[in-house]
Structure formats: structure tokens, C-alpha cells
Structure 1
Amino acid sequence: MTVDAVERAQVGPLLAQWRRRRGISQLELANLAGVSARHVGFVETGRSQPSREMLLRLAEHLDVPLRDRNTLLLAAGYAPVFQEKALDDPAMRPVLDAVRRVLHGHRPYPALVLDGRRNIVASNEPFDRLFTAGVAPHLLAPPANVLRLVLHPDGMAPRIVNLGQWRAKLLTGLARRAALDERLRPLHEELLGYPCDQPVPELHVPGPDEIMIPLELRHGDRELSFIGTIATFGTARDLTMAELIIESFFPADDRTAAYLTGS
């Protein structure tokens, strides 16, 4: 949300939007926060001006991202409380050290770290070797965006066996995030324009034995299959740290495991 939009917004409707996104009632939120449902209703309609502490308490129970908590504070006339340090700030050194240890420890499996805009912050050697092989150099120039890397016709897309499924999965997730974070909207519009030579399902209905959508990737004369996991820093109080994502890939079948481990 831009500064002008924040200035025009009212905190009550913004708070109500987050409550509805989380699918809870005013009474449920009130019970979580230890206030009356009447007070929550008054805040949402603008009849009551919440204190900074009350607003932060409500946002905490709604699991509002830190960047959006700053937006709520601005809309209520308060200064933001969550800062955003650059990755090269000395205070971020322990975070980057932890990230490097995770990436190193995950070998021989691929892993990478992303920022809030899904730009690649760091990656390990297996990711670089397996996922970026044959990718056009312009897609790897900093800040390299992983969604662009995956879906661009000069990127990984020609090597992804189940590209249609992954395009649907990634664009659906990005659209959901872009609805909350306008910084991602231009990227979403760009990726929508990329070609895809496979059907892109609007809704994926799993088969009876299907438990996940693996990433099926051609690598030389092999087809490798991966499952992905995501980890975040759960106690972060800095915007940059809170938005970091560690994405780790594991073999989804014995053939892939044997190739990655050299067994």
C-alpha cells in the first residue's frame, strides 16, 4: 500500500479486512485479545480509536505480517514500529550466518533463500548446478527472481516436465500475495504473459494416490523429481528478516535420491 493510500485509509476497515481474511468473527477476535466484541466492533466502524498497543495486540492475534502491521499503525495515525534493515547491515550478520549454515547443511539437496519479493538472496551449489543449468544469464543477474527463473521460456520452464501444474501453483500463490502486497503486482502481470505449451489447470483435483505436486525436472538425459519445503524465522521483528524464506528441496523418488547422493 502506498503512502497516499495509507493516508486515505481508515484503520477500522483495514482491520476488518484482515479479520475476514483470517475467517474469524469479532467475538472470536475479542476473546483472543481479551477485550469485548463491542470494542472490536467500534474499532472496525471507526467509533473508537484504538491505542497503539491495542492495535498491535489485535494484529498479533490476526497474524498480520509485520509490513502490514506498520500499515495499520500509519492508518491509525501512529508511527511504524517495525524497521527494515538491509541485508548488509551488521545486525543481520547472525541471520545470514544461519542461512549459510542451513544451505551448506542441506547438501547434496538443492536449497535457496528468498526475500519478500521472491528474489534470490543465496543458494547452495546443488541448486545452482541442477536448477540454473542452461538458464539465460539475464535471468540470473542480481536481483534474480525465482518465479521469473522458473516460468520464463529462457529459464527453467523448458525443462519442467509438469510445467502447467507448477505454473498454476506459482501464479495462484503469487496472485494471493499480490492482493496484499502491491510490490508484487507488476511481477504477477509479467508472469501471466509468459507462454506455456501445457494445459494450466484452474483447479487441481488430486488422484487417489497423489499426496503432493512434485517438481519434475529434466537434467541432461534424466528426469529428477523433487518435493519442496519452506521455513521462515518465526520470531523476527525486522521486516527484512520476517520476509526471508528458506526453500529446501528433497528427492521425491528413489531414482532422484540415488542420483543426488551418488549411490
Structure 2
Amino acid sequence: MRRQIRPQGIGPMLREWRKRRNLSQLALALQTGISSRHLSFVETGRAVPSRDLVLRLAEQLDVPMRQRNSLLMAAGYAPAYEETPISEAQMAQADEAINRLLAGHDPYPAVVLDSASNLRRANRSAMALLDGVSAELLRPPVNVMRLALHPEGLAPRILNFAEWRMHLLGRLRREAAFTDDECLLSLYDEVSAYRYPQGMADPERSTDPEHADGRQIAIPLRIEALGSELSFFSALTMFAAPVDITLAELTIETFYPADTRTATVLHSYYQAVNKDESAPGELVGHWTAP
């Protein structure tokens, strides 16, 4: 993924974010409530923006919270947003909400991801899909992009791998472009270079015609797991109006059965697991290290 030279100084940084959002100086000035002349002076370094103006511009530009702190520091101000570990007392309510959502989504898979696509928490049903994955890929922090696309990860068991790979890479590319996050840019370069699983007949194939009927509502994840072919579509959930970086960067992805067979298999598995307390699930409720 092509990288741009990162600008230095608050003016060039704001200009780069404005261009990233495809806004003219006039449009951004009108949205922020300042003159385009003043914005021009800020971008060229002829004027130093106040702390309030930096935050207003960042809000209009939809700059992620972590990067807003970087803008403030570049302008000579203290960061505005804290990054509180989820284990701290003040995060207890959010922590409980996440636990409830994960537990309540069983018997269907659900995972919690951070901004770098690292797995932070998973319910028991999600962990059941990881059987056979290389132990190296399961060492914390577990990255779901590597997990899904690596030849020793889930890739050999994803039946519509080319289609799912395209979906994941597109998602990662858009997120990297939106946030200008160096970690995501590097991750994209890494996972997009992975070779296809050995033995794949046609790496560029689209959806299997057998499953490509008019009733498909979203790109499915079709995967061999639990002794059967399972099919899922997923939804992403984020905290609304967070004021802490930790919550702002968390995404909860919940998977739903795309057919009756998948629902039946997962319900049966979950009932069996609940009867066997020794069944796999050690990572359930465990937050991996950053």
C-alpha cells in the first residue's frame, strides 16, 4: 500500500487531513465557522491555531481520537484524550457491557477487536472456529487479519477464500486510508502478500455458483468447522460518542448464521460444551496484551 511522506507541524498536518477528506479550504472553513483566509494562514504556518480550533477542525475532519492528540501536541498543547486500560475501575461498566454482549451472542461467534485488528476478547463459539490454526498465529496479540488470511491460519478452511480475502483487504485498506495509521498500512502490506493456501484450484474465483443465489444479502464467510460447512454474515458494533481512546478503538464483530444448517450445528455444539466444562475456551473473557 503506497505511503505518503508524513507532514511535520500542525499546519501541514491539518492540510493533509483536509486533503484526505477531500475538502477544500473554503468548505472546511465554513463547516468550522472560521474564514478561509484564517485557515489558509494556519495551514501555511502564518497563524498558530488555538487549542479549541485544533479540536474543532479535528472534529469536522473526523480525525480519530488518537490522532487528535497528535495534532494537539504538534500545536504545542497537551493531549485531550486518555487511554484507560479496560481493567481499570472507571471502565467497569463498559467492560460489563462487552461481556454481556459476547455471552448473550452465544451460540453464535462474537469477537472484540482493537484498531489494529488484534483480538481482545472472544466468546466460546468464536474460539471453536480456531481449531487447527498454527500455534504461532495464536500467540498474543492474535491478529484476526493474519488469522484469516495466513496459509497456516483459517485460509485453507475458508471455502470462498478469494471472495472473503477481497472483502477483508478492502476493509483493511479503507480503515488504513481513513485513519492514516502506520500499523494498519504495514499490516495491509503484510497480509496482502500472503500466498494462497496450497491446493486452491482457482485463486481468483468468485462466489461458488451453488451459493450465489439472489437471496444473498451480504458477502458470507463460508468455513469448514465443527465437522460441517458453516456460513455466516457479520455486523460491526462500536461505542457511540466515546471520550476515551480505548473505547473509541474497540469494535465488536458479531457473526450470524446465514443458513439453517449453521444455526443447527452451533446450537448443538453449544449445548454439548455447556455439559462439558473441560471443553476448549480458555481465552474466553481474556484480554490479550497490547
Secondary structure at the counterpart of residue 79 of structure 1: coil
CA displacement at 1:186 relative to structure 2: 3.5
Q: Render the CA deviation track for 1:118-140: whole Å, top value 9, x for unaligned.
A: 111110111111x2122122222
- Report 1:4-83 matches (<5 A): 9-83=8-82
Matched, 1:243 2:249: yes
Give CA deviations for 1:161-200 in whole Å, capped at 9, x if unaligned: 1111222222233234445111234433332332114435
Q: Does 1:199 align with 2:203?
A: yes
State whether residues 116 and 240 of structure 1, in contact with CA within 8 Å, keep that contact through their aligned partners in structure 2.
Answer: no
1:224 is aligned to 230
Aligned AA (1:190): E
- Cα distance in 2 for residues equivalent to 1:166 and 1:102: 25
Determine if contact 1:217/1:225 at 8 Å carries over to the other structure.
yes
Query: Which has the higher relative contact order, 1 or 2, with Cα contacts under 8 A spaced 6 or more apart?
Result: 2
Q: Could you tell me how far apart the structure 2 residues matched to 1:189 and 1:63 are?
A: 25
Report the 3-state secondary structure (helix = DSSP H, G, I; strand = E; otherwise coil) of the residue aligned with 1:171.
Answer: helix
* 1:190-221 CA distance string (max 9 Å, x none): 323321144358xxxxx894542111111254
State how 1:110-259 maps to structure 2 within 5 Å.
110-129=109-128, 131-179=129-177, 180-196=180-196, 197=200, 198-200=202-204, 209=214, 211-259=217-265
Match of 1:106 in 2: 105
Q: SS state of the match for residue 254, structure 2?
A: strand
Question: CA RMSD for the aligned pairs?
Answer: 2.5
**Inter-partner Cα distance in structure 2 for 1:200 and 1:76:** 48
Larger mean CA deviation between 11-20 and 106-115 belongs to 11-20
Deviation at 1:229, TM superposition (A): 0.8
How far 1:98 moved relative to its partner?
A: 1.1
Aligned match of 1:88:
87
The one-letter code matched in structure 1 to 2:73 is: L
CA distance in 2, matches of 1:254, 1:46: 61
Instruction: Give the match for residue 276 of structure 2.
Output: none
- State how far apart, in whole Å, the 2-side matches of 1:189 and 1:86 are: 29
Runs of 5+ in structure 2 lacking a partner? 206-211, 269-290
Percent of paired sites with the same residue: 47
TM-score (norm 2): 0.78
Return the alpha-carbon distance in structure 1 between the equivalents of residues 82 and 144 of structure 2.
25
User: 1:157 offset after TM fit, Å?
Assistant: 0.7
Q: 1 CA distance for matches of 2:253 and 2:133? A: 19
Task: Assess, with a 3 A threshold, how the Cα gap between structure 1 residues 167 and 200 changes in structure 2: closer, same or farther.
Answer: farther
Give ranges in structure 1 of 5+ residues lacking alignment: 202-206
CA distance in 2, matches of 1:162, 1:242: 32
Seen in structure 2, the aligned counterparts of structure 1 residues 21 and 89 have a Cα distance that, compared at 3 Å, is same
**Residue 109 of structure 1 contacts residue 126 of structure 1 at CA under 8 Å; is this kept in 2?**
yes
Distance across 1 between alignment mates of 2:254 and 2:181: 24
Q: Counterparts of 1:14 and 1:253 in 2: how far apart (Å)?
A: 48
Closer, same or farther in 2 for the Cα pair 1:247/1:44, shift >3 Å?
same
The residue aligned with 2:282 is none
Amino acid of the residue matched to residue 203 of structure 2? Answer: P
